[in-house]
Structure 1
Amino acid sequence: PTPAAKPAEAKPTEAKPAAPTAAPASKEKIQIKYWIFWNQPQVWEEPFRATPEWKAMEESGLEIEFRTGAGGDAGRTAVAAGTPPDVGDLGPQYDFALGGKLMDLTDFVAASKVVKPERFFKENWEGPLIDGKLYGVPCHECYVRRGLNYNEKLVQEAGLDPNKPPETWDELFEWHKKLTKFDAAGNLLQYGIDPFDAEGGTGPGGDGWTIAELWDVPFFDAATGTFNLNHERFVEALDTYCEFIRFLGPDKLQGVRSVEGQGTWGGAYNAQVQAMIIEGYWHPGETAKEKPEVSKLNRATWIPVPAFRKGHKIQEFSGHWTSLFAEGKNAKHAFPIIEFLQSKSALDIIFNSIGWLPALKDYVETVDGSKFPGLQFYLDSAKQFTHAYGENKIPIRSFIGQKFAVYREKVYRDEMKAKEALDAFQKDVETEWEESGWKAKWGKKG
């Protein structure tokens, strides 16, 4: 799913926990604002309200407003102004937690018969856990984020075997070259892969940092609060990624991207202009809903790794958490929404309408992997991985991601060498770490 707009960096602030409060048994209605940042879930409202679990919440005294598309500037403004929803996911939950805007849910979970840590994949559950406090519960869209999806028809037309996908980045580059087509005038017509697209270019953040994971770069030491962004493996990784863009021509790729319907996060793949994409488990389901004819051609496999890691099977467990907002008028009454989102009724609606999965092991076990072409790989990968990664819990992660996007473009446009760019990147991040106050704050943690 397309990520929410980048939030402003949160400054270190202590969040205040709140004790759980049950909804009153009186006839007085408690107004609950339940907001999420995505637009696609508009289709959930009617079936959600028809479930016995939702009706039970209403009968207990809750009157629920369900709002989608509530993220971005509007969501951040509402939180900053002290008028947030009671419960939901506006996107930058981690930053809200650091800013003291979310409740600690530890006591709510302890009292719950539904939300139990053992039901969740470990890495997913630990995402919202910060300094011993639980600021959210995995909901709506979670699970695994790493896989190479490819169009078997385009692969076959290029003379490649769809049953023998690339395992290393050297092999991926060979596929990339064979799947790329230019017209007589040199215009880009079709290309293999944009490695910076979708999950390939995400991070650092809630979905991890793909490029750093693949090259196993120890870019941040949480114990000491120090960065190593110019690590030699990161230099190799950035050079490797950028070679794919250089082969296409940065401006030519930008031209293709500018055509309506050929953008990032699945657009160009659905248009069959892009043959391969690094994506999460949701890609098979979303593609089936958006472009059924392309879905039939979709295959998924392990994301290729550098040659020195050949044989490693990389997976990343993370996703989105839903929280109670500390300044929500009736937030202390809103935990039943989080419990509802773990029910089979809600999960079936979410999966069948959009293809999203939760972080619940018991539910994922019941999913039919044949429902969407490519989905079975992801279900299997959650058990077959050799190396698992999780969320990057770094307070200035949005700054890091924004700066990295600037420097990577300088590298693939040959304005800077990878080592030179990452040296400058390292200095920028160290400066921000200190000036934001987080360097001093982090030093007091341990």
Structure 2
Amino acid sequence: MRWHLKNVFFKRRAPTGFYDRPQDFEKFLYLAQLQEWEDDCINPRGKLLDNLGKAGDVNAEHLALLLVNGVDVREYESHTHVMKDLRDRLVKLGVEYVEVKSEEVVEKIVESEGKNKKKEKNKGKIIPVLNGEKTPVLNPKAEDKNGKKNTIEKKLIPILNIDPKEFDYRRDFRKEVVVTIDPLTARDLDDALHIKRIKGENGEEDCWEVGVHIADVAYFLPIDTEVNSWARSRGTTVYLVHKAIPMLPSDLCEHLCSLNPGVERLTFSIVWTMDDEANILSTWFGRSVIKSCSKLSYEHAQDIIENPKKQFAIVELPKIHDEIKIHQIKKTITNLNFIAKKLKRKRFGRGGLKFDLPKLRFDLEQINKDEKGNLSGTWIPRGLRLDQRKDSNFLVEELMLLANMEVAQRLYKYYDDRAMLRRHPTPKRKELKNMCSLLARFSTPGTVR
């Protein structure tokens, strides 16, 4: 909550001059901690923690909102000891690092992962991180096309070398047509999908195998690490209009645990056998390994759904890996959409509700620059539009809902009342009664139970 500082008595650490000229401090936002409020005192006592900036400033107001709502805004990369502990453990798992100087090189290195790790000359090479120390590997004499020394900041990228023993107890989906479907600008790809025809009990291919694959974060994150402690306290990534505050450091969420195309990734999978009506015949849970063949956006998937007969040119879709053909990608999306629609129809038949509340999307522009001339700081909205949810969005949503329901049922089956499950609170009786009255006006009966 927001308080005027004049309503709080600060025993210590009040700003100099605050009690003489409190009006001078009204234009600033402070982070304070209320410590006690005695019965016979009008105002509480507190401790001043930090000056967040001027009231009304976009960045200060944004930070204040996060802190008031208990969001952990600490950056992993700025806490060296936390990252050193994580990287030391990752090295023991076979992770190696490479220093690069541009996003373009990062993409080339990631694409070459698992292909003998060949790199362009003077761009970077795979190096181990020993005791958390980074070894410079870029050519110090590298120059740009104008002959000036390259001053681009280096970036440390982790590369995964999977221990062959992992494959002994993981189900292998590397030969399947596995795809990811995410927003166009997504960098952390945490779920992937596959579907194929399989033989049923009668020996004919009249069943579907549908798989949801989630990044196996636990493999990289032992419970006794400080990063694990941070992640547990955060519980989720917080998405804002202009940025995201990640639950995990970028080493994990953008690289080792991101289901990037063309590279082997460790996952935890749920695989169903279904009939043509999306009735579940069997379910398999377990650790797995995948190799996504394409990073699709919702727009790409929607284009395929809306134009099933369209002959896509190579440039119209993202890069496809491992000799998978465009028609295989099209078939996968079309079949996933077919099953998702069946699942959605069944869910609504069981009483599912749909709340299509309008959601705004902002077009933003960065206007501030730091001392190096790089864009940073304030984002200003230049336009807005209504977010349109289409079949490609519902496709992913439906399969994720099914996966979550299956996991909840499995947890309850084995842990009974000890299972920690999330559910929506019971509606308030009065509000539910008012809703039923409103529905009755539109000839939609409802009852309060």
Measured against the shorter chain, the TM-score band is: under 0.3
TM-score (norm 2): 0.24
Q: Would you tell me which structure has more strand in proportion to its own residues?
A: 2
Q: Which has the higher contact order (CA 8 A, sep 6+)?
A: 1
Looking at secondary structure, tell me which structure has more helix per residue: 1
TM-score normalised by structure 1 residue count: 0.24
